[in-house]
Amino acid sequence: MADSKRRLPVLKSPEPNEDDERRPWHWVGFGTIAIFAAWLPLAYLATAAQARIVSRFAEASSPEAIADAIQRAAPQDVARLQFAILLLLALPLAAGAFGGGFVVGRWSRRAGVREAALAGLATALMTCALSWRIGVSWAAFAGVFLAIPVAAAGGWLGTRARARSAGRTG
């Protein structure tokens, strides 16, 4: 009687097969998505922090009062404010690029530093194109010089983590 019952087959994950592995260039797209997924929420928080810093610097909240206070401020104070804002906006991109590069290096089988760097390049070029809808500015390319090496560093660290993981299981 027990044999007449229908049983669901137990799903086992098949052994990894080289034929099933994604090509390395697929990981460029996955890395780009990972960079955006990490970067955008952090950029939102950085933009909110930027507004608070500028308001505190100018001791005002209206855009006109802020612009007036910045014009009246000493040049070195304005330079420090600009540097703080630049750093504040660059850190989320760097964190996202590093994380996306790490994802590419760690969880792919054949992709590595090159694909992680290409994901950083793709992300930076897309953001340049999106920012140019407002107006063309060469300052938008600053992200290219940040995202590529930081994503490559994340990819390098990810490949090292992948190699350590393979050494423990293999």
Average pLDDT of the residues in 5-15 = 66
Domain assignment present for residue 45? The answer is yes
Q: Which domain holds residue 48?
A: 28-169
Domain assignment present for residue 152? The answer is yes
Domain assignment present for residue 88? The answer is yes
Domain assignment present for residue 104? The answer is yes
Please count the CA atoms within 13 angstroms of the CA of 136 that sit on its side-chain side. 0
How many domains are contained in the chain?
A: 1
Domain assignment present for residue 102? The answer is yes
The whole-angstrom separation of Cα 72 and Cα 65 is 11
Is the per-residue pLDDT at 18 higher than 60?
Answer: no
pTM: 0.81
The whole-angstrom separation of Cα 35 and Cα 44 is 14
Band (36; pLDDT cuts 50, 70, 90): very high
What is the per-residue pLDDT for 12?
64
Domain assignment present for residue 38? The answer is yes
Q: Which residue has the tokens 């855009």?
A: 63
What is the per-residue pLDDT for 1?
54
Name 124's Cβ contacts closer than 8 Å, sequence gap at least 6.
141, 143, 144, 146, 147, 148
What's the distance, Cα to Cα, between the start and end of the chain in Å?
44
Contact 100, 123 (CB under 8 A): yes
Is the per-residue pLDDT at 17 higher than 90?
Answer: no
Band (19; pLDDT cuts 50, 70, 90): very low
The whole-angstrom separation of Cα 43 and Cα 131 is 14
What is the per-residue pLDDT for 155?
97
Is the per-residue pLDDT at 44 higher than 70?
Answer: yes
Burial of 13 per CB tally in 10 Å (0-12, 13-18, 19+)? exposed
Pick from 81-85, 95-99, 140-144: least confident: 140-144
Average pLDDT of the residues in 11-20 = 56
Name 59's Cβ contacts closer than 8 Å, sequence gap at least 6.
69
Average pLDDT of the residues in 49-60 = 91
